[in-house]
């Protein structure tokens, strides 16, 4: 299979920071940027420099870190925003305008053609100052496709390297994203960038669907943080690119550290059941599952933990079977008789059904008790 032709633009430091209650220090932004770079992310959107002096400073400092990744920032179609991007020395500026009829009417109070004409002047201005441009449509998924095509064609004619499509409200399903790619995305003459939100839970699926249909730049955030319910999750997108798109240039073993760093800096705790980086992603309790996995992990794991720097865990609880308990007991360097193993298994189930966790400490106490009973007998 030919690998999908894609790159990642991670927007954790900009859209991710727009998560309610989240604010990164410059040091935190730089630490996250460094880990993104080590993972192999090609473009890092460092911030929105015009919003404050400190944000401007943070974006400029990241630009001067000497990373392999290209550094991007966000800008409205105004000269002040573009000047801030120029001052920060970014490689790429994302100039966006809202394009849906609703947004045009409420935010700009002018016609779409008038707004497009103003925005193209800013594309020219940035391009003339040596900055690569992504010309992006906000609320693109609710925009008249004919206007989108007109906007993207004009942006490309004015030197924009990318055309940006934002599903700002998380409005699309994967089938609808596929339809967009077929009817509009395929007609874009420059590189198409896809930016998906997760309001309906489809951000990662929509992003991967777009990639499979030919989108080039995929926007992500670490742990899926971002406005409201967040964005497409970097860790899920990278794993799907490896397993479904044959894209193997990213260092997936860095994902746990990157996820933990963003969890710490954002203060947003990771759910145990989250794919790839969640505590339970590679944890197994079912006796039926574990019995098969001891012979071949492929029976109940499509994604293996080693690929993403994780380890497999067998959890003891009410669903544990004999083969699993024997394996865990042996891994502790303990030898018990069949009757002792049966006793430990029964106690594990009793403890679990009482809503108590069978921790390593609890298990070791059970093993000692089982041995002591055997010696007394």
Q: Where are the domains of the chain?
A: 7-266, 283-376
Identify the CATH homologous superfamily for domain 7-266: Aldolase class I (3.20.20.70)
- What is the per-residue pLDDT for 176? 98
Percent of the chain with pLDDT over 70: 99
Q: What's the pTM?
A: 0.92
pLDDT over 60 at 376, yes or no: no
What is the token pair recorded at 229?
Answer: 């319910």
Q: What is the mean pLDDT of residues 146-166?
A: 97
Q: What is the mean pLDDT of residues 5-24?
A: 97
- What is the per-residue pLDDT for 108? 80
pLDDT band at 104; cut points 50, 70, 90: confident
- Give the lowest-confidence range in 78-87, 88-97, 290-299: 290-299
- What is the per-residue pLDDT for 10? 98
Q: What is the mean pLDDT of residues 189-198?
A: 98
Q: What is the mean pLDDT of residues 80-84?
A: 98
- What is the per-residue pLDDT for 375? 57
Q: What is the mean pLDDT of residues 171-195?
A: 97
pLDDT over 50 at 377, yes or no: no
Contact predicate 317/285, CB 8 Å: yes
Nearest to 211 by CA among 29, 370, 7: 7
Contact predicate 216/4, CB 8 Å: no
- What is the per-residue pLDDT for 362? 76
Whole-number Cα distances in Å, 231 to 72, 173, 203, 312: 17, 14, 6, 28
């Amino acid at each position: 299979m030919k690998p999908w032709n894609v790159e990642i633009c991670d927007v954790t430091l900009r859209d991710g920071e727009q998560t309610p209650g989240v604010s990164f220090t410059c040091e935190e932004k730089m630490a996250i940027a460094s880990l993104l770079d080590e993972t192999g992310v090609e473009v890092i959107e460092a911030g929105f420099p015009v919003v404050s002096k400190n944000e401007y400073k943070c974006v400029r400092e990241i630009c001067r870190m000497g990373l392999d990744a290209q550094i991007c920032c966000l800008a409205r179609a105004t000269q002040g925003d573009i000047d801030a991007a120029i001052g920060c020395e970014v490689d790429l500026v994302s100039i966006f305008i809202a394009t849906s009829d609703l947004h045009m009417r409420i935010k700009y109070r002018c016609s779409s053609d008038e707004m497009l004409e103003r925005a193209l002047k800013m594309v020219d201005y940035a391009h003339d100052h040596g900055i690569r441009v992504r010309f992006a449509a906000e609320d693109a998924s609710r925009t008249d496709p004919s206007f989108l095509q007109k906007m993207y064609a004009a942006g490309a004619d004015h030197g924009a390297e990318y055309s940006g499509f934002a599903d700002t409200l998380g409005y699309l399903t994967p089938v609808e994203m596929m339809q967009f790619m077929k009817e509009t995305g395929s007609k874009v003459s420059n590189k198409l960038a896809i930016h998906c939100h997760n309001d309906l839970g489809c951000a990662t699926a929509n992003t991967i669907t777009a990639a499979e249909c030919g989108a080039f730049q995929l926007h992500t955030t670490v742990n899926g943080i971002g406005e409201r319910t967040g964005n497409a999750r970097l860790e899920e997108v990278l794993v799907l690119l490896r397993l479904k798109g044959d894209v193997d240039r990213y260092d997936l073993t860095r994902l746990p550290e990157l996820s933990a760093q963003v969890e710490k800096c954002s203060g947003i705790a990771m759910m145990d059941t989250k794919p790839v980086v969640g505590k339970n992603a590679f944890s197994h309790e079912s006796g039926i599952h574990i019995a098969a996995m001891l012979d071949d992990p492929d029976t109940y794991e499509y994604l293996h933990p080693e690929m993403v720097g994780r380890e497999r865990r067998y959890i003891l609880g009410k669903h544990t079977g004999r083969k699993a308990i024997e394996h865990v007991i042996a891994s502790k360097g303990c030898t018990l008789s069949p009757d002792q193993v049966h006793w430990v298994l029964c106690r594990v189930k009793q403890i679990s059904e009482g809503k108590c966790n069978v921790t390593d400490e609890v298990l070791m106490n059970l093993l000692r008790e089982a041995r002591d009973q055997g010696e007394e007998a």
